[in-house]
A and B are shown apart, each in its own frame.
Chain A
Amino acid sequence: MTGNDRMMEKTAGDSVLKVAMPKGRIYKQASKLFREAGLLIPEDFDDSRKLIIPVPEANMEFIMAKPVDVPTYVEYGVADIGIVGKDVLMEENKDVYELIDLGIARCRMSVIGLPGWKPVMYPRVATKYPSVASQYFREGGQQVEVIKLNGSIELAPLIGLADRIVDMVETGQTLKENGLVEMETLFQVTSRLIANRVSYRLKNQAIQELCDRLGQRIAARG
């Protein structure tokens, strides 16, 4: 029970809203959006290496997490809410509330290959998103071998590991530079605000208020 006791201790500040924030690319845009919505996040935290950042002015606490882990923290309730890309939500399939589309970190999930791609006998697809890719091809009636890679996915078709890849495309610049083309789009990706099932009810007011403030700001951005 010691792990649990520790958890109780950490969550003792009942009214504080714990927010799982993705480190890196999305954080910059998310913290900007939060500031525009009037939530006072000190600027110097942007480059901090601290993992837990209290923001008493907004009655919040930021937990700096690796983006793919955000839904996990929120599902277990160690964070009340979190910010995460739709790509991660689709891949991780966690039981959390998806409350609002923040409209930031906009990109798309696509099937990519070399120009002039033709169906092959044993199709292989390399991706960082194996469950998204498997589901997409299954629903399209294609049986493919999905290969999970952890980075530089664009390499796979260039060196013959796979004939196609499924990956996120933001501007398409990397693809162009490597002579690859986008073949199909699976879905559009933006960052979402997610909430834990219990927090959504027990901290309803704080969460709803935050949603409303962010929602107004997002609407104003257009």
Chain B
Amino acid sequence: MNVRRGLPRNAFILMMLAPTTVLLLGVTLFPFITALVMSFTNYSLIRPDELAWIGFGNYANLLGSTEFWQALRVTAVFTIVAVAVQMVLGAAIALLLHYETRRSAWLRIIYLLPMAITPVAATFTFRMMFNPSLGVINHMFKAVGLPPQDWLGSPSTALFSLLVVDTWQWTPFIMLIAVGGLAAMDDEPLEASQMDGASFWQTLGHHVLPMLTPYLAFALVFRSIDAFKTFDIIFVLTGGGPGTLTRTLNLLTYKHGIEFLAMGYAAAISIVMLIIAIVASQIFLRRLKLLQPRQARI
């Protein structure tokens, strides 16, 4: 491509990328390097004077501990189930909404409310609603003759209850991205296929979903990254209990870093989480061939 005026191609690329690079490097580089270095030390806020380099000591302790593997399992189950449910629900709602023309503006706002409410207030509202003796959920259960449940305290329902809250809060995220994707979608092939007599499901499967896939894939990546780090709803609703059944990796990081002040160890957990996230998203993005831009033409 010959462009005659303006900046040369490479200078243009540089100019467009520079602000992002500078800001991200400026803000995240120092904290990240520090955390990385910290993870190889016994840095504890309780004993700052005994700071020493311990190599992979933290990592060895971590990987040799049962609490890590248990937390990893809880985190994996939570992330996979939460994201799967939210993807299906969010995409479905976005499609339904796409076909709704009259009330869509209001519905979109209603659907975004769970994300718009301060998580602190939302989670405390859920804590109130889940309360076994005062909560409205058990109240309604009793009204229809069902036995009241110990939603957050019982080993059989605690994780489920957390998944309900997470799904309530974050399905709108998937929905919003899918709505944006559908809005940007080129409707012509869709119309053509309908004219040719294709059924709704055929159109959906052959045209809509393939076009939506990259958006949904990106939504999935970000939702998974965030779900993997879920902290506040678990912290407020169960604190990791009953026992350690809802203790996720990020909760473990908070416990070791902020409550036990073992920052070196907490940093090691963070780095391990980072590595897991990098590996998982690399595999996923490569599988779907989304790591390379699909349309790099210039």
A and B from one assembly?
Answer: no
Interface residues, chain B, CB within 8 Å of chain A?
none
